[in-house]
Structure 1
Amino acid sequence: MSGASGLDARVHAVDAARRVAEVALRDQLEGEWTYLTPRAAWAARGRVSLRAAPDERTAQVTEALLGEAMEVLEALPDGWAWVRTRHDGYLGFARAGAFTTTAPEPAVTVQVPRAHLFSAPRVSAPILDDVSFGARLPVLTEGPAQEGAYGWWRVAYHEGEAFLHAAATRVPAGGTVRSVAFLQRFLDTPYVWGGRSAWGLDCSGLTQLWAGPGVLPRDADQQQAALAPVEVPSAGDLAFFPGHVGIMLDERRMLHANATHMRVTVDTLGESEYGARLAADLLGFGRLP
């Protein structure tokens, strides 16, 4: 191939205008290119916004959650970087101060939809950041300091420390990933384009959360291509539409993050005006491994 045609710019780091590409594409490109070697990094904020271009006014394409593995491909002017989320290979542009090169180990994982990082181990202390299910925080102590019923984890945060209530790291009754009871705790979460947290989700961000870390690619069309199709859905199967995806609760009811209601809702295929539109646009169903 002489140029970059045929490569998916969502997951292949190639900039034909600047003739810059990641080193993994060396055998797929011809001519003179500058090749980039990715460097390991980890998200250092509760939610690191990846944008379509190095400009705050461009659309958010995805988010990296605190402690998630990333790759930095290139440092850019004005404090931006070209980066990738490693669990799904998705590319975007993030502020350079939003990630760290220090791995979050040993770490605790947030097991509830939403939580906060506090400046001190008390609920009246100032909040430093918002965290959400799946965030991983490097701990500075072997166990939570006992202050009340659950205690507090002392965690590294930027160049200092923060405190996470230990209740946020306990698996709730009913479990988490692929538990319908847990999934329904995300009902009414606001719809946010590119969102991947309980502070704001888009449709494929919700299905990624449901599938678990590293199971699904980022966008609805990528997810449909990755799954085995099924004719009749069961609870937990994904339903696909043009540019949209949801999680079936049974053969007709679907939980999904949608811009029609601007939140996570349950809708029934073929029922109501909106449900009828969904049924008419249905592309098929897919089953998770």
Structure 2
Amino acid sequence: MSDARLHPDPALCLERRAAQVTAALCDLCRGPGGKRDRQLLYGDLVTILSERDGWSYLQAEKDGYCGHVRSAALGPVQKATHYVSAPASHAYAAADFKSPDLIGLSLNSRVAVTDHSGRFCETPVGFIPEMHLTPLSAPATDPTEVAARLLGTPYLWGGNSRWGIDCSGLVQAALHACALPCPGDSDLQETQLGTLRASGGDFRRNDLLFWKGHVALVTDARTLIHATANVMAVTFEPIAEAIARIEAAGDGPVTAHRRL
């Protein structure tokens, strides 16, 4: 059976039209008005496959994920030049931090910089502080360092932003900021990312540890970072404590240790 997350429903494929997300953040739902599976950020590219009653069925370019998004959150493609490399930022009405803020943008949102004004970059959504943006040609190089930028972000099932993120969303955000491909869910990450390592230790920075329905990034030989419902936030945790706690809670042992 094909995975509906990654393979479009032929019955809903009535067109193919390129678009991008123009809302700061939108839910990618299993059905129109249904459960959130993941989220899309401003500037994410998509292919619209059909549209009905204010909902667009689409496939996201960044990970192939299929689902339904409110059509009002989509617009024409604008060639992005930069991505938000800060945990979050604002676009302002003018090149002045005292001017009205127009939209909030999360880490990895993509924007088209059209001009510069002092310490601000001009974009179609407003003026964004230059220090919060990085050219797409200069991705980050350390996924764990990117994940740490989101320390304290609230846990949100299916979340992909600074305003709420889950375990697989954190890993995807960290890898995408480094221009590394990454699927959206932990079960897909477990089979597609890196190479499998023998269990029992030898943990290195940027290794991935998987449990049933959970994933974490290793920061050093003794510590990991993850978005966990245990504290409802992105947090550091000793590896040994996390392994013992998760198993004691009934969620089983580590299912895979993979190295990027």
TM range (shorter): 0.7 to 0.9
| TM-superposed deviation, 1:246 | 0.5
Partner of 2:35 in structure 1?
A: 59
- CA 1:200–1:265: 2 relative to 1, 3 Å: same
Deviations 1:219-244 (A, max 9, x none): 10101111321124311011001111
Larger Rg: 1
C-alpha separation in 1, matches of 2:203 and 2:248: 18
| TM-superposed deviation, 1:182 | 4.0
TM-score by length of 1: 0.79
Q: Does 1:189 align with 2:164?
A: no
Matches within 5 A, 1:81-230: 81-105=56-80, 107-141=81-115, 144-146=116-118, 151-157=119-125, 162-170=126-134, 176-178=140-142, 180-212=144-176, 213=179, 215-227=181-193, 228-230=195-197
C-alpha separation in 2, matches of 1:284 and 1:252: 17
1:204 partner amino acid: S
Deviations 1:72-92 (A, max 9, x none): 111011x11112211100012
Structure 1 outlier segments of 4+, above 4 Å: none
TM-score by length of 2: 0.87
C-alpha separation in 1, matches of 2:62 and 2:6: 11
2:39 partner amino acid: E
- The structure showing larger relative contact order (alpha-carbon pairs under 8 Å, at least 6 residues apart) is 2
% identical aligned pairs: 28
SS in 2 for 1:205: helix
SS in 1 for 2:154: coil
Q: Does 1:11 align with 2:10?
A: no
SS in 1 for 2:121: strand
Q: Which runs of 5+ in 2 are unaligned?
A: none
Deviations 1:20-39 (A, max 9, x none): 054xxxxxxxxxxxxx3421
Partner of 2:50 in structure 1?
A: 74
C-alpha separation in 1, matches of 2:73 and 2:159: 16
Q: Does 1:281 align with 2:246?
A: no
SS in 2 for 1:193: coil
Deviations 1:65-123 (A, max 9, x none): 1112111111011x111122111000121111111122234x33212111011122222
Partner of 1:238 in structure 2?
A: 208
SS in 2 for 1:270: helix
Deviations 1:172-231 (A, max 9, x none): xxx834254443222111111221122221111111122224511111010111132112
| TM-superposed deviation, 1:286 | 1.1
C-alpha separation in 1, matches of 2:208 and 2:219: 9
Partner of 1:27 in structure 2?
A: none
